[in-house]
Homo-oligomer: A and B are copies of this chain.
Amino acid sequence: MEKRRKMLKAAIVGATGIVGQQFIVALHNHPWIKVTSLAASERSAGRTYREALTDAKSGAFRWSCDEPPSPEAMELPVQNAHEMEPSGVDIVFSAVESDQAQILEPKFAVTTPVISTASAFRYEKDVPILIPGINSEQAGLLKQQRKARGWKGFITPIPNCTTTGLAITLKPIYDAFGIRMVLMTSLQALSGAGRSPGVIGLDILDNVIPFIANEEEKVQRETQKILGALTGESIKPAQFLVSCTCTRVNVREGHTESVFVSTERHCEPEDVARAMQEFAGLKVSLPSAPKQMIVVRSDPFRPQPRLDRDTDDGMATVVGRIRRDTALENGIKYVLVSHNTKMGAARGAVLVAELLINDGYIS
């Protein structure tokens, strides 16, 4: 890390929202990247970040992260995202909703790399969905994208937060034993739904909500793409089948997933545990990378979202209850916890930026 000479300048678009705030936190004191521009909706434009977050009427300060906002960010001016000039920064982190992303991100990408938490471009042929250490090599597709679209920049989205932990934990199994089929039920945290309107307390107290619109389709498709193979100008999705049911539970942060896998080749639970524990996808040292991508616990009562979500600052995926599945052929089942607003959102996007800086895609 000592070799870095120049600090890169970054803009956060959608800076006042919950994911935008997480970018502020994730980039606080970052050794390679400095936030120099903030953009949001027209309503916030022309105010400082502090003012934009303060409710004029009640005086309430609308901050959603556990960590406090960095003092320097508080005094930055907020621009109208539709009027922002991206050429003044080296990276744009986009934290806007998908419909806005559809409009804004291609405009920014003309001059500047865009790393996005939105789903708008995830399924396009020349767009990789990167998880450093899992499919770092798919970054190669960005050259193709730049060429095809005539952009100096590019758009690279991170996965849906529910895909992240699943794809990470499947990777060592896929490499070692092959995968035929994955069936997953998620128990997702409230923070994944954001705040506008998010999940109402009345609806989730003493309850489970068994449906999250479009979530299952995203997870199924993204998992296959992330574990797919970069072949020439596109990614050939992994050929295993994925089916999931996504539910919402009364947990603040940390998605829990109950996973059943049928592998190609026979393996014992201890083989899977070892493959996960020893998995070292990331070959380089990056500032936001976890020490271990997957932490395996033997206590049968783990992982629990409250106890395990913050493992390695929310960047590790924690796995437990690895055991034989008694129904599927070569069946293995396990439970994972992944921090949906850290590795699964802003910090995960910052990790992508670090990989792309390291590999020369951003400079």
Binding site for B on A (CB under 8 A): 58-61, 64, 181-183, 185, 187, 190-191, 195, 197-211, 213, 220, 241-243, 245, 247, 249-252, 256, 258, 260, 298-307, 320-321, 325-328, 331, 333, 335
Contacts and interface: CB of A to CB of B under 8 A. Distances in A.
B243 A328 contact: yes
A301 B243 contact: no
Contacts of A64: 202
B243 A247 contact: no
The 3 closest A-B pairs by CB, nearest first: A241-B327, A243-B327, A185-B185
Contacts of A195: 200, 202
Contacts of A58: 213, 300-301
A213 B300 CA distance: 9
Contacts of A252: 202, 205-206
Contacts of A299: 59-61
A205 B206 contact: yes
Given A58-B301, A198-B200, A327 B251 contact: no
A335 B298 CA distance: 29
Given A58-B300, A243-B328, A243-B333, A205 B210 contact: no
A209 B60 contact: no
Nearest to A300: B211
Given A241-B326, A245-B258, A251 B304 contact: no
Nearest to A256: B208
A342 B325 CA distance: 30
Contact of A245 (B201, B208, B250, B335): B335
19 contacts: A58-B213, A58-B300, A183-B327, A185-B245, A187-B187, A190-B200, A190-B202, A200-B201, A201-B201, A205-B206, A206-B250, A206-B252, A207-B306, A210-B256, A210-B304, A211-B301, A220-B326, A249-B249, A250-B250
Contacts of A325: 183, 243
B187 A328 contact: no
Given A326-B242, A327-B183, A327-B243, A207 B59 contact: no
A298 B60 CA distance: 9
A35 B16 CA distance: 45
Contacts of A181: 327-328
B202 A200 contact: no
Given A191-B202, A206-B252, A305-B207, A183 B300 contact: no
